[in-house]
Amino acid sequence: MSKIRRVVLTGVGAITPVGNNKELFWDSLVNGKSGVAPLTAFDHAEFNSHIAAEVKDFDPSLYMDSKDIKHMDRFVHFGVSAGLMACADGKLDMSKEDPFRVGVVIGSGIGGLHSIEAQCYQYKEKGASRISPFLIPRLIVNMAPGLLSIKIKARGPNTSVATACATGTHAIGDALRIIQRNEADVMVAGGAEGCITPLGFGGFCALKALSKRSDEPQRASRPFDKDRDGFVMGEGAGIVVLEELGHARKRGAKIYCELIGYGMSADAYHITAPDPDAEGAAYCMKRTLDDAGLKPKDVDYINAHGTSTQLNDQMETAAIKKVFGDHAKKVAVSSIKSMTGHLLGAAGGVEVITCAMTIQEGIITPTINYEIPDPNCDLDYVPNKARKAKVKVAITNSFGFGGHNATLALREFKG
């Protein structure tokens, strides 16, 4: 059997509710800044939640021309912009690359909901003749990697993932496998989401999934806290550049960290609720450790899915205990969703970036709004303040509706 190719992370791009570049994003997380605020996108009076983690001051014209902006959905604006940002951060010069050895995997949990809603109204009010010829390109999930590949002229593997809130992590894991199998040398991968619309927001309200702490927006998302009452809907994109180690070294790329393990599983339990026995999530983490050749005690930090819902946080805590045993009480665990809200299909992408920055900077981002301990959630959640710590190995979890589970392991790069 041929030796598995080593894969490193060399570029990051983030469009988030707490900052629209790597520096602002990271600074906000380290300082415990919340991106949750009263919802501004539409009139929300009839809904039972009135807050969201919206992207602020985003200008797609910095990355795309007016035609692409007009013809593409909001999630594509986010995904392509963050992808171009990641390529720039990684100093990826496509004029020096074999385009067939560079690929893109970007997913979205929901896709072009803005366009779907707008065109439904258009059809209902003005008839079939007024449906835009760009409706289908706007709404399909694969348009984010499709347009990015056009922008950077990447002609290698180009796919999309749609596994709800596990999307971004699955996309990056799939890109890892593509490079390991020698099907590409460079992959641009992650997730993008932009579905804070009346229908999308209303759907989650109807599920009773969203926090109703609307009078205290910045305190609403509180993973693992006893008084958590639901997640806060967010939007944005997190995209990374992955490379085969030799390729990265040859071009002198900055290396953030190495990706060393990937695991997937299904709960096979319920369409929205997590398995209370936590078997699927536990298997996913264990599979990742096995794939990486790690023991539980090797892990310094777990970037939790940590949605701030009662069932998810309790299940994830139980899964960590199943896998890590005695080490579960020693490993640091935190959820940036306490600050960013839940970016749905983009969450995994920004959380991989968080792990990479944590390893680089030696700072673990906090779980803010952790005030009242929950006896069912009794781990070290790095409450309220960032913590300086040497992190050699981190894992990140993502769990999606439908029972989709994904975990990635990242390690400090050593030549």
Other C-beta atoms closer than 10 Å to the C-beta of 266 total 14
Distance separating alpha carbons of residues 370 and 351, to the nearest angstrom: 19
Is 119 within 8 Å of 135 (Cβ atoms)? yes
Task: Determine the residue type at 156.
Answer: G
Sheet of 393-400, strands arranged across: 158-159, 102-107, 186-193, 236-244, 7-15, 257-266, 404-411, 393-400, 301-303, 332-334
Other C-beta atoms closer than 10 Å to the C-beta of 402 total 17
Rg (CA), the chain: 20
Is 345 within 8 Å of 238 (Cβ atoms)? no
Is 247 within 8 Å of 186 (Cβ atoms)? yes
Catalytic residues: 165, 305, 342
CA torsion through residues 297, 303, 308, 312, sign: negative
Other C-beta atoms closer than 10 Å to the C-beta of 198 total 15
Distance separating alpha carbons of residues 20 and 145, to the nearest angstrom: 19
Distance separating alpha carbons of residues 222 and 59, to the nearest angstrom: 30
Whose CA is closest to 340, among 328, 331, 349, 332? 349
* Per-residue H/E/C for 345-411: HHHHHHHHHHHHHHHHHCEECCECCCCCEECCECCECCECCCEECCCCEEEEEEEECCCEEEEEEEE
Phi, psi for 105 (deg, rounded to 5): -130, 105
